[in-house]
């Protein structure tokens, strides 16, 4: 039997903009998806992850397509019968990079089961192919975080070659709370929507893209110098431009407001939006538990974790 894991992630700056080669900042979280793969006579997928309602059903076809794409990328028969188990501590909430984490976990498990000995770089490339089933035209930020972990600045290569990935080091890991709206979102449709609106309205979108680039670079600097107040302010600004490009939702805005009211120094949606998750910066255990309790009382699932853990 082959085994593998992939990290979950939270995007601090630049989701959606990264698809268009604007830099983004992403951190792995200390939860991962695990996979086990065995050669079989018939394909069987047992997905035992804790998920938000409807996640499994919504993603089922994309999951099958993703596995077939990955097998093709490994130069194997896309219909190769495999027994696949998926589990681990990362919940299947939209926005946490659960699809990329599972792609990396499955790619690693296949590589081990079939003795392919794929390097991290190869696993990342295979998982990127798998991500296309979920995101259409992914930037690659999710699978890169899922493969390597840590905190990083990421810029997609617009020409399709090697992306730019630079590790960010923080003095110490910082507490966050990730709140889930409980709504499963279709990342592919969200990504396509932004691309279409951008194409139709350059006047509105171009300045927002310029602002997103400035935010990601300033966010990186603020993380490196430990200026968390600044990181929080920049996250709030990032949420505003995500609202402007039409990827927030009433519930995401509600959770963002709730987190700020309970002391978060910054909060924004994270990932594809349209449902899914938001992230609150809470560099203080007390604030972290206050926000967690507020979410729990209001009936929202959450993950209290840290960014900047070295992996
Ligand atoms: C999804 O986690 C992040 C998006 O920017 C899509 C991508 O980068 O592939 C929305």
Euclidean distance between CA atoms 204 and 186, whole angstroms: 24
Mean pLDDT of the chain: 96
Pairing of strands 151-155, 164-167: antiparallel
pLDDT of 261 > 90? The answer is yes
pLDDT band for 31, please (50, 70, 90 cuts): very high
> What's the confidence (pLDDT) of residue 58?
80
* Cα dihedral: 170, 224, 104, 161 (round 10): -160
Q: How far apart are CA 106 and CA 63, in angstroms?
A: 11
Q: What is the torsion angle, in degrees rounded to the nearest 10, for the CA atoms of residue 256, residue 258, residue 263 and residue 268?
A: 0
Distance, in Å, from the CA atom of 280 to the CA atom of 264, rounded to the nearest integer, reads 6
Residue 160 has a pLDDT of: 87
Supply φ then ψ for residue 11, to 5 degrees. Answer: -90, 125
pTM of the model: 0.96
The partner residues of 154 in beta bridges, in order of sequence, read 24, 165
The most distant pair of C-alpha atoms in the chain lies apart, rounded to whole Å, by 56
Q: Are strands 174-180 and 82-88 parallel, antiparallel or unpaired?
A: unpaired
Yes or no: say if 194 and 248 are a contact pair by the CB < 8 Å rule: no
- CATH for 2-168 (3.30.230.10, 3.40.50.970, 3.30.465.10, 3.20.20.70): 3.30.230.10
Angle, helices 55-73 vs 120-135, to 10°: value is 130
Q: Tell me the C-alpha to C-alpha distance, in Å, between residue 269 and each of 17, 49, 117, 256.
A: 14, 23, 37, 7
Which one of 156, 191, 209 would you pick to mutate in the ligand 1 pocket, going by the greatest count of ligand atoms within 8 A of its CB? 191
Domains 2-168 and 174-307 share a fold: no
DSSP bridge partners of 42: none
Residue 26 bridge partners (DSSP): 11, 152
Mean pLDDT of 1-29: 98
Q: Whose CA is nearest to atom 10 of ligand 1?
A: 272
Could you say which of 47, 77, 83, 142 is catalytic? 142
In 3-state terms, what secondary structure has residue 162?
Answer: coil
The ranges assigned to domains in the chain are 2-168, 174-307
Residues with CB under 6 A from ligand 1: 11, 15-16, 18-19, 97, 135, 138-139, 141-142, 187, 191, 271-272
Q: Which residue in the block uniquely carries the two structure tokens 């990730």?
A: 178
Confidence of residue 193 (pLDDT cuts 50, 70, 90): very high
Residue 253 appears among annotated catalytic residues: no
- Which residue in 278, 269, 270 sits closest to 300, CA to CA? 278
Residue whose Cα lies nearest atom 2 of ligand 1: it is 271
Q: Please state the rounded mean pLDDT for residues 20-25.
A: 98
pLDDT band of residue 132 (cuts 50, 70, 90) is very high
Is domain 174-307 annotated with CATH 3.30.565.10? no
pLDDT, tens only, 200-234: 999 999 999 999 999 999 999 999 999 999 999 99
- Interatomic CA distance for residues 10 and 89, integer angstroms: 15
Tokens 């035209």 correspond to what residue? 137
Select from 89, 88, 87, 126 the least CA-distant residue to 104: 126
Cα distance between the two ends of the chain: 25
């Amino acid at each position: 039997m082959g085994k593998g894991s992939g990290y979950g992630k939270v995007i601090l700056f630049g989701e959606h903009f990264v698809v268009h080669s604007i830099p983004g900042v992403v951190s792995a979280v200390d939860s991962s998806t695990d996979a086990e793969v065995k050669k079989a006579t018939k394909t069987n997928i047992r997905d035992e992850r804790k998920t938000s309602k409807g996640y499994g059903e919504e993603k089922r076809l994309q999951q099958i397509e993703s596995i077939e794409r990955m097998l093709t990328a490994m130069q194997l028969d896309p219909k190769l019968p495999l027994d696949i188990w998926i589990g681990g501590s990362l919940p299947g909430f939209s926005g946490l990079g659960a699809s990329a984490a599972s792609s990396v976990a499955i790619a690693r498990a296949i590589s081990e089961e079939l003795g392919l000995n794929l390097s991290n770089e190869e696993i990342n490339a295979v998982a990127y192919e798998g991500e296309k089933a979920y995101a259409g035209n992914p930037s690659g930020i999710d699978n890169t975080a899922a493969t390597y972990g840590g905190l990083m600045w990421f810029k997609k290569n617009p020409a399709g070659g090697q992306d730019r990935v630079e590790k960010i080091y923080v003095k110490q890991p910082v507490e966050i709370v990730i709140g889930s709206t409980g709504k499963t979102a279709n990342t592919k449709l969200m990504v396509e929507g932004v691309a279409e609106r951008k194409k139709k309205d350059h006047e509105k979108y171009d300045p927002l893209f310029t602002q997103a680039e400035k935010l990601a670079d300033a966010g990186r600097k603020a993380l490196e110098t430990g200026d968390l107040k600044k990181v929080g302010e920049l996250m709030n600004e990032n949420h505003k431009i995500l609202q402007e490009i039409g990827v927030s939702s009433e519930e995401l805005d509600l959770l963002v407001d709730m987190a700020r009211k309970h002391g978060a120094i910054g909060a924004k949606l994270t990932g594809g939006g349209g449902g899914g998750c938001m992230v609150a910066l809470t560099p203080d255990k007390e604030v972290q538990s206050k926000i967690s309790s507020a979410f729990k009382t209001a009936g929202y699932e959450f993950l209290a974790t840290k960014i900047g853990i070295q992996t």
